[in-house]
Amino acid sequence: MQLTKLLSTLISIISLSEAYRILVVFPICAKSHNILGNGVVNNLLKAGHEVVHITCIPNKKTITNLTEIDVSAMDTNDVETKEVDSFKLKNLVGKDNIADSLQFFYMIHELTKKFLKDESLTEFFLNTTQQFDVVIAEWMFTDLAAGIAPLYKCPLIWVSTMEAHWQILRLIDGPSHPAYSVDIFSTNNLPLTFVERVTELWVMIKKMVFINLIVTYFEKNVYNEVFLPIAAKRGVTMPSYQDAVYNGSFLLLNSHPSYGTPFQLPQNAKYVGGYHIDTNVHPLPKDIQKIMDEARDGVIYFSMGSNLKSMDMSDNMKRSILKTFSELKQTVLWKFEGNLSDVPANVHLMKWAPQQSILAHPNIKMFINHGGQLSTTEAIHCGVPVIGIPVFGDQYINIKSAVHKGFGIMVRLTEDIAGHLAEAIREILQNESYKNKAVELSKIYHNRPLPPGKELVYWVEEVIQTGGAAHLRSPALHVPLYQKAYLDLIALVSIIIYLLRKIMSKLLSFRRKTEVKANKKKIKKH
């Protein structure tokens, strides 16, 4: 009996520690996306799995159980050179959210197409010795990565690098309701007014039409062009484009209700925001450590992220911001990619900043940033209030959420930004509610059944062990839109009402004619 129990325990341990072979694909060649891709890879490696990572920013060092497919040599110059000036800070002042445009969607489509057609990637896909238990792919406003998983006859897990939103939720359940959720590029904030509700509905309808009539057509062509020849050589029968896209087993969301929107999620979607953060705080470089330790009035950290660069501000903006900082008692650490003259003694420029370690320092007072999802997550992880300067993409919705939840202030990107920035800094320094709220939300953020990295691994293993986690899939995915909206019922009721009105009209007409005839007979009698 005891021997049986021992064997059962050993089998359980062996099954729990089973290593899987996993393909991780993050097509967007941007540092912030690569950080999240590496976060997925690192957590899987810690759990003992073998990982193949397709990336354009490789580590270029030997790591046990990790193979990197380097696609950094792919030629994207003809796409990127057209866009590089558009995304400079000085050219974005006073403009609408440029990510919510045809230009942005075209750029994403072209970059993803070039990624999938890269020679080194094609060669890798054609290697029939390569087999995987699951494919984990980043979703970034294109469904094309869905074609990778069928090549290996394995499940697909989507990763959203941003907040949940209707465009990605439609892949595993259905679009979220526009009355109480906003488009990822929206500048509206919940709760919505009547006009805002109508606007969000119109945006959803407009984009649905655009996706179904235009995007799907072009993506289907790329899907057939890229994957069908490879599948034929691998001896695999590919599903249709639509079947591949909507056959995702799971969705991992880089967000959390503590700082984001608490969406109604299906069972096969989970929040794992913060999975990229190393729970072991790395020591600061000695020079930065000394600066922060000696900052008696605290430290303000300023960074516009990895894609936007402070050096691309206009000269007027740079000088006016420096003047604002010079009037503060606090020490300012500014991630600045170039050089500036006449820098005040309390301001320290850094071309590279160990952001997580800076935010974890006890002397940090606030974090001025662009509202990126990584920056917002790391701020809440450390309980630091924020001042957000949103520029494009999901940055508006992230900062609006920070303002709504009480741990942040939004400042618009304008030429006279310095004055507004000074007001926001004074408000956070003088009003402790921002810091208190950041600390409160940080406790909520950390209070989870599992740390985000371990939860990510848990669900990846669950998908593999259950052959695609079909038991978690939402039935809503298979219900047509007209049925979800009860358009068939509305049509039926409309037809019944129409027929009843016709019948009533006929009856009334018949009754009137009968009455007229009866009256005529009475008149004749008299």
Q: Which CATH architecture has domain 18-277+451-478?
A: 3-Layer(aba) Sandwich (3.40)
Quote the pLDDT of residue 7.
44
Instruction: Assess whether pLDDT exceeds 70 at residue 78.
Output: no
Of 268, 370, 256, the residue nearest 312 (C-alpha) = 370
pLDDT at 398 over 70: yes
Give the pLDDT of residue 283: 94
Q: Computed from CA positions of residues 367, 371, 377, 378, in that sequence, does the dihedral angle turn out positive or negative? A: negative
Concatenated DSSP letters of 390-409: --STTHHHHHHHHHHHTSEE
pLDDT band, residue 524 (cuts 50/70/90):
low
pLDDT given for residue 510 in this prediction: 83
Instruction: Supply the DSSP string of 120-170, one letter for each residue.
Output: HHHHHHH-TT---SEEEEEESS--GGGGHHHHTT--EEEEESS---HHHHT
List 157's β-bridge partners, or say none. Answer: 136, 250
Structure confidence by residue, pLDDT tens digits, 166-176: 999 999 998 88
Residue 191, pLDDT score: 87
List the 250-253 sheet strands across, edge first: 66-70, 50-55, 21-25, 134-139, 156-160, 250-253, 269-271
The pLDDT value given to residue 1: 43
pLDDT classification of 81: cutoffs 50, 70, 90: very low
- Digit-coded pLDDT (tens) for 136-155: 999 999 999 999 999 999 99
The two domains 18-277+451-478 and 286-446 share their CATH topology (first three levels equal): yes
Length, in residues, of the chain: 526
Give the helix/strand (H/E) hosting 333.
strand 331-335
User: In whole numbers, what is the pLDDT of the chain averaged over residues?
Assistant: 90
3-state secondary structure of 349: strand
Binning pLDDT at 50, 70 and 90, where does residue 9 land?
very low
What's the N-to-C CA distance of the chain in angstroms? Answer: 112
d(C-alpha 90, C-alpha 520), whole Å: 88
Q: What is the pLDDT of residues 424-440, one digit of tens each?
A: 999 999 999 999 999 99
What are the counts of helices (DSSP H) followed by strands (DSSP E) for the chain? 21, 13
Structure tokens at 98: 């440029």
Percent of the chain scoring above 70 in pLDDT: 92
Report which of residues 290 and 11 the model is more confident about. 290
Q: How far is CA 263 from CA 176, 256, 323, in A?
A: 8, 10, 42
Domain range list for the chain: 18-277+451-478, 286-446, 484-518
- pLDDT value at 448 more than 90: yes
Between residues 242 and 82, the one the model is more confident about? 242
Model pLDDT, residue 84: 52
pLDDT given for residue 15 in this prediction: 42
The reported pLDDT for the residue numbered 79 is 52
Element of type H or E holding 22 = strand 21-25
CB 160 within 8 A of CB 137: no
Q: Which of these CATH numbers, 3.40.50.620, 3.30.565.10, 3.40.50.2000, 3.40.190.10, describes 286-446?
A: 3.40.50.2000
Determine the 3-state secondary structure of 315 from DSSP: helix
Give residue-wise pLDDT tens across range 463-507.
999 999 999 999 888 888 788 888 899 999 999 999 999 999 888
Helix or strand holding residue 67 (H, E):
strand 66-70
